[in-house]
Structure 1
């Protein structure tokens, strides 16, 4: 990875949720100079972070090279690509106008379709104080629908270019990985059953999680989770299963529990 002379960009995250790693992975893949500001999810509505993002959600960045503070992972993606992907490794430039806009289309689909629906099934299946089968069924079906959309598109691509846009991995592909990486946990099914009827999505996903940049990102996550006394799935150490965590929440022993973004 080339040395980058720019000042480090500050990346504010809480380590459990998928969205922070969407951004950290992009930093890794672009080889940018960055510094993680890790804090507990309980503090997203408190200072100093609430002054960085008044919406109290991670991630957010502060770029001393441009003076910009920015939040919302999709906006951060578009910013980093526009400003720092100068070689267009993960994006397209003119005259590829169609490809540029198709990348943005898929990023918007990830933000409006994948992330919210996956988050809702996570909440209702694992952390809501009472089980609402109709809500769990609705959002599980939406997860399957999103995977079906991806499967339809990827299955129609040439065998040597099975990416969402064009003939290479772009930021559009990358945006989907952190939530798909959590699907076994989200759906409470074994990894093989996650990809039922979606072999093209599985192959696409597994190409990306094999990249060194993703593995480095997950090494950072494991370290930061350990520092906060959390297991890989966000459950505190000493609690073996989500069922145990749900029981603790229901008993009123962890009233701040939420499923982090």
Structure 2
């Protein structure tokens, strides 16, 4: 498979999720691989409706449609593995060399998948729940906020322990180079200050190796391009940082507005 597919891969994302982490994992990887893609953004109001439920019956973003392989996929972890297997496989002859973000060797391939699964099952859910109870839940429930904030600290501690043991010039999760496994953690860690409601320097206290690892990746041109796309989408739709339209205070209020609109229609 060529490194730059002739037909663009379509990436579906809701505008409510435009500032959210999971779609931007996929965009980040597409940008870093230098692939041809297009963003199909649509209103959160329509995430549980056709035509999107024909793409993803679970009604969540991201999802992709790749006309070059006639494959539709949802779940960001599955999309990551697909893009790497298809477009970073070592069979390409384009500008991006094969296995730049992955490995040929069996052991390293399995370890990359291990860390990707930890991100999707460990980091993502805990960070997401902390963000929900901190910013979007209609009532402040401190025990839930504390529980998930503590889980974030635990996840960061796991990463810190592993990265601290790596050689100083090769502090990546697997081997001596950045892989898709490292990249998967970036969008959620990018939101740590907002999720924990702490200054940027404070969120990294006790995890200096994680901070250095994260900051190496957010300095990449591919990440900066991804965030420029996100900023444009947010600006075009007049959305607040959390994806809720300006003038609406909570996500519950937004849901009520959607329900009223649907009932009227």
Same fold (TM over 0.5): yes
Describe how 1:185-196 pairs up with structure 2 within 5 A.
185-196=194-205
| Aligned-CA RMSD value | 1.8
Shift of residue 255, structure 1, vs aligned partner: 2.4
Q: Distance in 2 between matches of 1:97 and 1:253?
A: 47
TM-score by length of 1: 0.90
Instruction: Say if 2:230 is the partner of 1:227.
Output: no
1:107-150 per-residue CA deviation (whole Å, 9 max, x = no partner) reads: 00000000000000111111111221111111010000000000
**1:73 aligns to what?**
76
**1:33 aligns to what?**
36
Instruction: Say if 2:108 is the partner of 1:99.
Output: yes
Question: Of 156, 174, 178, which aligns to 2:165?
Answer: 156
CA contact under 8 A between 1:22 and 1:177: conserved in structure 2? yes
Q: Distance in 2 between matches of 1:44 and 1:55?
A: 9
Shift of residue 46, structure 1, vs aligned partner: 1.1
The unaligned stretches of length 5 or more in structure 2 are 91-97, 259-265
Residues 160, 70 of structure 1: alpha-carbon distance in 2 compared, 3 angstrom cutoff: same
**1:53 aligns to what?**
56
Instruction: Say if 2:114 is the partner of 1:113.
Output: no
**2:10 aligns to what?**
10
Q: Distance in 2 between matches of 1:182 and 1:174?
A: 14
CA contact under 8 A between 1:11 and 1:62: conserved in structure 2? yes
CA contact under 8 A between 1:151 and 1:199: conserved in structure 2? yes
Aligned residues: 246
Q: What is the DSSP-based 3-state SS (H/G/I as helix, E as strand, rest coil) of the residue aligned with 1:255?
A: helix
CA contact under 8 A between 2:47 and 2:53: conserved in structure 1? yes
Q: Distance in 1 between matches of 2:254 and 2:41?
A: 25
Q: Distance in 1 between matches of 2:117 and 2:232?
A: 30
**1:89 aligns to what?**
100
The unaligned stretches of length 5 or more in structure 1 are 240-244
Shift of residue 238, structure 1, vs aligned partner: 4.8
1:209-232 per-residue CA deviation (whole Å, 9 max, x = no partner) reads: 000000000000000111111134
Q: Distance in 2 between matches of 1:99 and 1:157?
A: 15
Instruction: Say if 2:225 is the partner of 1:208.
Output: no
